[in-house]
Structure 1
């Protein structure tokens, strides 16, 4: 999946200026209003990474406290950050975090095979819902994400616990932080389960295929080669996301074991392996589970891994 910044982005409103063009995306702090019009004209005309960066620094960095520049060329996503900003780049194998630093000229990173890009310039607590989608133009924002984080609904302006504003969109959605395609090709149904899951109600589920766990899990949330098993769990306080966690048979170095992936859940997942301290699961990053491991989804929902 291409993460070309010139395509559509979802955004949360904030004070920073977001400038979106076909070949580059620029985010500037609210103090830089005078620069916005000139940069917007340049970016809208199709300027790429080098031309946009030259324009950003042409007047020197002394008076430019921060900025974000994201551009993709030849399947490589290039990021430059200065100041209080963060960019998260999700590939098939990892999530690369790039953070700005006011004490340096800038921080630069190039990453190949990026499936999802997220820009953050304010804390998530500043705004807990999506405000819209933009595929070119200028907007005030606190964060932005490509591909857009939209839900496949047609009910105008209602919200659920995941913090998403649901409008008349038809595009499929992944919650913020979920990189589509990460570990998206697990083995299909295995001949024998690699483990079993002990659910809060005492029932057990064989891990012989992809298992999606949540309040109301949906198979469309993740691509698999076999039909996934959907496991719904009770969440009285709506703390468990609709499609919260995937557990499946591992591949490669994890062959013969169960592995877990947090699917960009709102409140996260914590795994406790026998003899080890609790570990927060990073969205989209697969973790091997050993027998006796417990995955806590919140709201009193814990799933134990037991021998098959």
Structure 2
């Protein structure tokens, strides 16, 4: 498996949270959204197996119904899995199948020479509703993920002769063939969310920044201490807006504001990108609302998004 700037994964949209970093991948069930932002910051900063596992179980396992952790250490791939999830590790000669178990603390395996990994955490959505993509770091909502990315020309995941292969529980069984997914072209916007046009002819709104400058929302606008376009799947060049954060409360790539699509067409929409301290939006006449990571919210003129550390962004008419 590749290292460096982060291994590339293909994914199929679903309900679970997938957190991808340069040294570790974590997948959490929908019930664990409160853990997502903290773990994303950790994993994105390059945390490895031990540090990530410690963070996962720091509050105890009783309230953590399931998770998947996959990490590389030299030529060894480590997997820890709990709950309703499966990981398939191909080594070229065989496939090692690792399955979670609600009745145990967790299942852990270390496998050398892994050439392909597939994570399955739920039944995949129907093709008409799923959003497929490829990314090398960040946060997505998924049902499955595969590294290296599945491609249309690829052979099936691995197909081996029906001979006994050691399973994670010490028993033996005939290995299975795991089919490969076909990956659709990358869509602009947040993975797992409806696609948005990369650039609109006219801005749907403007953002009033703390320093008094304004930014047109005619494409994806990424706001943070040091925003990076690679943190989300996007098409075209987004606008990068850096803001001051004296106490480091604003994440590097904290928030995306972009033109909406579908029912949100003609409006600006905002998505918290798994920030450490979160984002709060106040719409005119409504109480404050916490933005959930990866969940898009329509913004009306007069709305204010608070990123913390004194950084507030107001939405004004275009």
Normalization by structure 2: what TM-score? 0.50
| Structure 2: 5+ residue stretches without partners | 1-9, 27-51, 62-66, 71-76, 84-93, 109-118, 133-140, 146-167, 169-188
Number of residue pairs matched by the alignment? 189
Match of 2:217 among 201, 207, 211: 207
Q: Where does residue 120 of structure 2 map in the other structure?
A: 72
TM alignment of 1:118-267, pairs within 5 A: 181-183=191-193, 185-267=195-277
Partners of 1:19 and 1:257 in 2: CA distance: 37
Q: CA deviation at 1:268?
A: 0.3
> 1:2 is paired with a residue of what secondary structure?
strand
Is 1:9 aligned with 2:22?
Answer: no
> 2:294 is paired with a residue of what secondary structure?
coil
Match of 1:114 among 143, 167, 185: 143
Over 3 Å counting, the alpha-carbon distance change for 1:67 and 1:48 in structure 2 is: closer
Is 1:287 aligned with 2:297?
Answer: yes
Q: CA deviation at 1:205?
A: 0.6
Partners of 1:48 and 1:196 in 2: CA distance: 49
Residue by residue, what CA displacement relative to the aligned partner does 1:177-227 show, whole Å, maximum 9, x if unpaired?
xx9613373211100000000000011111000000000101111121221
> 1:76 is paired with a residue of what secondary structure?
coil
Over 3 Å counting, the alpha-carbon distance change for 1:248 and 1:12 in structure 2 is: same
Residue by residue, what CA displacement relative to the aligned partner does 1:27-74 show, whole Å, maximum 9, x if unpaired?
39xxxxxxxxxxxxxxx983465xx65xx65xxxxxx6x7699x7289
Normalization by structure 1: what TM-score? 0.51
| C-alpha contact (below 8 Å) 2:194/2:261 kept by paired residues | no
> 1:259 is paired with a residue of what secondary structure?
strand
| C-alpha contact (below 8 Å) 2:284/2:303 kept by paired residues | yes
RMSD value, Cα: 4.2
| C-alpha contact (below 8 Å) 1:264/1:284 kept by paired residues | yes
